Every structure is written in structure tokens, then in C-alpha cells.
Amino acid sequence: MTKAAKIIYTKTDEAPALATQSLLPIIKAFTAPSNIVIETRDISLAARILAQFPEYLRDNQKVNDALTELGELAKQPEANIIKLPNISASVPQLIEAISELQAKGFNLPDYPEDPQNAEEKMVKTSYDKVKGSAVNPVLREGNSDRRAPKAVKNYAKKNPHSMGEWSSNSKTEVATMSKGDFMHNEKSVTIKGDGSVNVVLTKTDGAKTVLKEKITVLNGEIIDATKMNKKALITFLDNEIKEAKDKGILFSLHMKATMMKVSDPIIFGHAVEVYFKDLFKKYSTEFDTIGVDVRNGFGDLVSKIEELPAEKQDVINAAIKKILSENASLAMVNSDKGITNLHVPSDVIIDASMPAMIRNSGQMWGADGKSHDTLAVIPDSSYAGIYSATINFCKKHGAFDPTTMGTVSNVGLMAQKAEEYGSHDKTFEIPANGKVSVIDDKGMTLMEHTVEQGDIWRMCQVKDLPIQDWVKLAVNRARATNWPAIFWLDENRAHDAELIKKVKTYLPQHNIEGLDIKILSPEKATEYTLERVKAGKDTISVSGNVLRDYLTDLFPILELGTSAKMLSIVPLMNGGGLFETGAGGSAPKHVQQFMEEGHLRWDSLGEFLAIGVSLEHLGETFNNPKATLLSETIDDATEKLLENNQGPSRKVNELDNRGSHFYLALYWAEALANQNKDEMLKNRFAPVYKKLNENKEKILQELLQAQGHPVDIGGYYEPTDKLVVSQMRPSDTLNRILSEIK
């Protein structure tokens, strides 16, 4: 008897959560005969909010803190977690979710944007735990291995997605700061001996404030500190708005306000204030009264001015119109609804927004509903260069060709909140002029910056063991593929210079004979890699955490049309496995389409791949041949589904997410029926395959009938399970066959 094996499948938000209600019953039915237990844990935004406030809820409304539980599990060797994309909530999304839950009878407190007393401060602290990218960093106790499986890459080559032409006359370009930003102010040290550091602000008058106390540091870890100078940022933004206007191109701002949840909303707010500076000069008193917070985007102002008397609203709206017509045109998120790039900080997220623009001939949407060249403003210059290098490459060589281009996989340094993506609890908006010092427990100042009021100062950490693991993973991938592996590190950047020393120490500890391993700055690495991509050659990018995020959307979006089709594995450092589904997000517009016309265009390919590797891991760690067989056969099924082009269509009344799940079940049953490694599974699944095949037309018809009309699922953030299940499982015939698998 093999040991009981368990997989945790996460319940998240939006389209992936809808898809789960259709896919999970299939996975459970197919794995049950092999005694594999599939459990779910709810880490949706709604559940994470409710878990923060047990004392406000009735007993039957309380939910346990599944995220903390999974965070602990991720450190155990038996962990096997399938993690679907989830909402990393901006404040406007958080507020929407809270009000939906309140309307459903959950007695939650409002989100206190400006807390006035101790209780409100506590409430805000609890909500802030849920804000932004609050899930991934907790679960990612390992580095990241993201790539397009061969079958997926071959499918994309045979069925290329649309790719906008590039002209050498394109006026699109990237604007980034040449001084005063995080990149130019960075200082970095490698810690000697375990201990702790304090971050202290010494004001010009000598008064000291401890910004953060006793940050634990371990021997060999790299820490860095840097600042974004407010004045330099504002001058830069002001110039770039003029630049976009002069060049007659759109102004667009690309940030990661979800992951960088402290620094980037502040920068976003400055951009709103600079663009609309005449408005803020004139109406600041009114805006203070109604509590406008530009860090939540220009949309916050638009909704709050509705509280003002009608005549006042009219003058303010006229002033807004005037600025919009006189300033550079803004890139639009939704031109029909008048939603600009500056409306909501989570609408334009750099990892997806820049590649989407590059795929679209370097253009974004303007207020006229047409696409135009754009000035892509990325204030901090640490990574902006990879996009300018890509844009220059496209101007010179034209668009990439998905039918011939090579693939770029990624090995990303991510474990234990590595680098910038773990910095939000050490990021501060500086209240007064002075200096910020990082001081160790022996009183030694390790790093120091002169700061001015309004500057954003931050400290990042990356531990030594994750770095060692990352180098090992890179060597393993290079060995497994024989592709060149490029470390995207810039010797002229303080943090990277420290990291390069370690890479050079750890690489020789492995057998690297015959491998092609290089260290190149991000720009040079982009150029080198793009040359290879164009020539149809494959390359491994080995990068830090931010570039991991950027590159695993950039290349997949160019190569495959979406990052949802990536295999995304996190080998956990203590031996477990975390299997993320795809590398992209949760595409809110998929839910909108589903509610309007009952068609879900979400492609679950990322889930299929994740289930395959999760079962493979289970097979290996529990010595469970049935799990291995299920893994091999689901991979066969996925490959056949791709060959037959049975992923979801984008259009209503054609095959959607549910139909594609049916094909997965059909081919999975077929593969299990046709194999000869396991007699029991063969006998169980032969009749299942027969029934699915005989009822194919009937099932597809039942699934199609569910489309073509608006759908009610009882909510957005907390949809009613029963309603979702009835919409996502509309085929009685399929449901019956699945329920008969024993």
C-alpha cells in the first residue's frame, strides 16, 4: 500500500476561480482511484479579508487563515501545492471587495485610509496584510523555474498568435531617470556573521527616529539600501509629460504597484499630481476636504468629487477636460469608459503592460479608441533598459515571428522574499530632511543616505542559501537543456556587484564543464538573447526577482501570446513543490465577458501543466507509480488537446474553458485506457473513455447551451459557490460520468 499522498489546490479569484469549479471535479475523479487526496484551501482576496477579522464576524462566518497555514506547509518536505493566480489588491480593489462582503452581511469595518484612533490603526494594519502582493511572497519558499514546455512551444509555432508589425519610424520609446532614482543611489554590503540591523533616520536638527528595529540578518546575506529622490522624480515626470506632448505620442506610466505596494503607489500618486498639477494647485482645499488620495490613482479623485456640490463638480470637471486636452494625451485602459492609465494603479502592471504594448507594434490605446505610439515612462532605471533594448531591436529588425522564434526560459532568484519584492516592510516615505543609516548590532554604520522630505528610502535583503540554490538550479537547467545560461547582472550596480561575487564563488562548486554560462548586464543580456531568439535559438535567463517577473511575461507574451501557458515550478528549498499555474494574472476582463455572455475564455493550460508536474513530484517523493502514471497521461492528454487546437476560443458560442476541460478528461481517460503499466487504472478508465467518447457530441452541446446569455454568479470577489458550480458544470451527462468513476 503506498503512503497517502496529498495535493493542495488553491481556490483564488476571478477567472481562475471560475475555471476551478469545472476542472477540479475532473482532477478529483481521475486521481481518487489512486488514493491521491486533493484538498482545497481558500486564499481568495475575500477569504483573506475575512480571516483577518474573526472578532467582527458571527461564528458561522469565520474562516481560518489558509494562507498562513500554507506558508507553514511550504517549509515542510511533504508540501505539494498548486497555486493559481490570485488578486494582488490595490486599495480601490480592496475597498470594493470589503463593500461587497459588507453587503452580503459580513460586519467588516470600513478600510480606514486615514486612521484617526487606535482601533482604526489596528484595522488598517490588518487590511494592509491583505493588500498588494500578499500571497506569493508567503508561499515562495524556493526559487523559480519557468519555461514553455516543448509541446506548448511547438503548438505556438504551428498556431501563431497575432503580432503587430514594427516600423523603424515608430516613435515609441522608454523614458527613465538618469539620476536620483533607486538605481543610481544604491549601496550594498554582504553581511559577516548572523545579527540584526536597525534603520535610523537622523533629522537635520539631530533628532533620531528608528524607522525599523532589529531586522534579522544572516551571515553571507546581501543587503542593499537606496532612495528615490522626490524632487528628481517630479522634475523627471514633468519633463516626460512635455516630451510626450512635443513628440505627439501618448504618455503612459508602467509600475508594479501590487508587488511594490509601498513605493510604487507613492510614485504613481506623484505622476497623477504632476500631470494634473494645475488642478491640484487650484482645488487642493476642496480635495483635502473630500479626502482625495492620489496614491489610489486619478480614479479616486474622479469618484470623490461626486461628493461636492454640483456647480463645483462642473468647474472641476471642466478644468480636468482642459488639462486632458492641453497636456500630452494619456494612454487609456478603456477608451469607451474614459479610464486612463492614471486612473487605478493596478490597471497597468508593468510585467504584462510593456510586453502587451511591444506585441501591439509598440502602441497603446488613446482616448480616440485607436492605437498610437507611446512614451513608456518607467521612473526607476534599474530594469527599464531591457524594454528600451527590446523596442530598439524591434525598430531595427521588425516584429518577432512566433512561428520561428526561439524560446527563453527563466531561473529566478525568488526564495524568502528576495530583493526588491521583499522590501515593502523596509520602505519609508521620509518625513523630514536628514540622513538614513543602516546600523548593525555592534553600532557600525553599514550604509547611509542623505535624504530629503518626501524621498522614498528602502532596504532589500537576499539570503545566502537561496542564492546558492539559485545558482544550482541554473546549472541544472543549463545541463538539462544544453542551452546558454545568462546571469542578467550589472557589475556597475551596487547590489548586482555583490551578487556577481557570489555567483563566481558558487558556480565552480558545480560541474560546469562544457556549459555556456555568462554574466551580462540586463541591456547586454537583452541584446544577446534577442539575437538568438530571432535566429530561432533557445536561451536561459538567470535573473533576480524583479527580472524574473518581467522576463516571464515578456518572452511568453511574445512567444506564446500569453504567460498563462508557461510551466511555473517552485522547487521549495525544504524539498516540497509549489506549482504555480502560468506566470500571468487573473485577467478581470475574462470575468466581465463571462458575466455578459456566459463564455469563459480563460485558458487552463497553465493548470494542466501544473497538475502534471505536481503529480510527477508526488510520484517521486512518495515513490508512488500511480501518481507518475497520472502525470505522464495528463501530459499526453494536454499535448493531444494542443495538437487538436482545443483550447478556449475568445468568442461566445464557441468552445470555452469548460469545453476544453471536457477534452482534457476525454484524452486523459483515453491515455489511461491505452497504457499497459497499471492494470487497475486501465480497467477503471477504459469504460470511462468509452462513455465520454460516445457522449461527446451530447456533452459539447450541453456545454454550448450554457453560453450566449448573461450569467449571475452572485458576486465578484465572493461569488456564490452554488451559482458558480451550476454555471461551470452545466453538462449533466459529463457530471454523471465523472461521478461514476470509483
The answer to whether the annotation marks 145 as part of a ligand binding site is: no
Query: 25 vs 355, which CB is nearer to ligand AKG?
Result: 355
Nearest distance from C-beta of residue 500 to ligand NDP, angstroms: 28
Is 684 labeled as ligand-binding? no
602 binds, among Mg ion, ligand AKG, ligand NDP, none (CB under 5 to 8 A by kind): ligand NDP
> Closer CB to Mg ion, residue 581 or residue 727?
581
Whether residue 602 is annotated as binding a ligand: the answer is yes
Q: E strands, 620-729, where?
A: none
CB of 556 to ligand AKG, least distance (A): 10
Closest to ligand NDP by CB, 106 vs 602, is: 602
**What residues contact 571, with CB distance under 8 A and at least 6 apart?**
142, 143, 145, 473, 577
Specify the residue, 225 or 411, whose C-beta has the smaller distance to ligand AKG.
411
Is the C-alpha dihedral spanning 265, 271, 276, 280 positive or negative?
Answer: positive
Q: Which is nearer to Mg ion, 380 or 498 (CB)?
A: 380
Q: Does 349 bind ligand NDP (CB under 6 A)?
A: yes
Among 228, 237, 292, 352, binds ligand NDP (CB under 6 A): 352
Minimum distance, C-beta of residue 548 to ligand AKG, in the bound complex (Å): 7
Task: Compute how many residues bind ligand NDP; rule: CB under 6 A.
Answer: 20
455: phi > 0 → left, psi -120 to 50 → alpha, else beta; which? beta
Smallest gap from Cβ 417 to ligand AKG, in A, equals 12
Residue 619 site contact among ligand NDP, Mg ion, ligand AKG, none (CB < 5 to 8 Å, cut-off depends on kind): none
Map residues 86-125 to x or -, x wherever contact with ligand NDP holds by CB under 6 A: xxx-------------------------------------
Q: Would you say 371 or 614 has its CB closer to ligand AKG?
A: 614
Contact 638, 661 (CB under 8 A): no
Identify which of residues 181 and 351 has a Cβ nearer to Mg ion in the complex. 351
Cα(222)–Cα(505) distance, rounded to whole angstroms?
14
- d(CA 345, CA 124) in angstroms, rounded, equals 19
> Per-residue contact track with ligand NDP, 568 to 607, x per CB under 6 A?
--------------x-xxxx-x------------xx--x-
Kindly state the smallest distance separating residue 350's Cβ from ligand NDP, in Å.
8
Which residues are within 8 A (CB) of 514 and not within 5 positions of it... i.e. 6 or more apart?
none
87 is in an annotated binding site: yes
Separation of alpha carbons 497 and 521, rounded Å = 11
Known binding residue 590? Answer is: yes
Phi, psi of 59 (to 5 degrees): -55, -40
Beta carbons of 82 and 28 less than 8 angstroms apart: no
The answer on whether 351 is annotated among ligand-binding residues is yes
719 is an interface residue for ligand NDP by CB under 6 A: no
24/260 with CB nearer ligand AKG: 260
3-state SS class at 481? helix
88 is in an annotated binding site: yes
Distance CA 394, CA 391 (A): 5
| Residue 707, phi then psi, degrees to nearest 5 | -95, 170
Q: Which of 439, 419, 436 is nearest to 428 (CA)?
A: 436
How far apart are alpha carbons 701 and 715 in whole angstroms?
Answer: 27
Question: CA nearest 163: which of 469, 558, 436, 504?
Answer: 558
Is 147 annotated in some ligand binding site?
Answer: no
Non-local CB neighbours of 527 within 8 Å, separated by 6+ positions:
389, 393
The answer to the question of whether 657 is labelled as a binding residue is: no
Known binding residue 254? Answer is: no
Q: Sketch the per residue contact string, 532 through 561, with Mg ion: x for CB under 5 A, - otherwise.
A: -----------------x------------
| 564 counts as binding ligand NDP under rule CB under 6 A | yes
Q: Which residues does 481 contact at the CB level (< 8 Å), separation at least 6?
A: 409, 538, 540
- 429: enclosing H helix or E strand: strand 427-429
- Which residues are 572's β-sheet partners? 142
CB-facing half-sphere around the CA of 242: CA atoms within 13 A: 7
85 near ligand NDP, judged by CB under 6 A: yes
φ, ψ at 11 (rounded to 5°):
-95, 125
Closest to Mg ion by CB, 498 vs 549, is 549
Place of cell 530594469: 383
Helix (H), strand (E), coil (C) string for 544-560: CHHHHHHHHHHHHHHHH
Contact 503, 519 (CB under 8 A): yes
Distance of closest approach, residue 553 Cβ to Mg ion, in angstroms:
5
Which residues lie below 8 Å from residue 279, measured CB to CB, with a gap of 6+? Answer: 316, 319, 320, 323
Residue 725 known to bind ligand? no
Q: 188 or 541, CB closer to ligand AKG?
A: 541
Nearest-CB residue to ligand AKG? 88
Q: Which residues contact 409 (CB under 8 A, 6 or more apart)?
A: 145, 146, 147, 148, 477, 481, 483, 538, 539, 540, 541
The least CB distance from residue 549 to ligand AKG, in Å, is 4
Of 287 and 550, the one with the shorter C-beta distance to ligand NDP is: 550
The item of ligand NDP, Mg ion, ligand AKG, none sharing an interface with residue 259, based on CB under 5 to 8 Å by kind, is ligand AKG
**351 belongs to the binding site for Mg ion (CB under 5 A):** yes
Identify which of residues 570 and 728 has a Cβ nearer to ligand AKG in the complex. 570
Q: Which residues bind ligand AKG (CB under 6 A)?
A: 88, 133, 136, 258-259, 351, 549, 552, 583
| Residue 608 interacting with ligand NDP (CB under 6 A) | no
H-helix or E-strand containing 446? strand 445-451
**The dihedral of CA 70, 415, 458, 426: what is its sign?**
positive
The H or E element containing residue 36 is strand 36-42
Q: Is 258 in the site for ligand NDP (CB under 6 A)?
A: yes
User: Applying CB under 6 A, which residues contact ligand NDP?
Assistant: 85-88, 136, 258, 346, 349, 352, 562, 564, 582, 584-587, 589, 602-603, 606
Annotated binding residues for D-threo-isocitrate: 146, 548
Known binding-site residues for Mg(2+) equal 351, 549, 553
Binding residues: 83-88, 133-140, 146, 351, 548-549, 553, 585-586, 590, 601-603, 650
Contacts to Mg ion by CB under 5 A: 351, 549
Q: Which residues contribute to the annotated binding site for NADP(+)? A: 83-88, 136, 585-586, 590, 601-603, 650
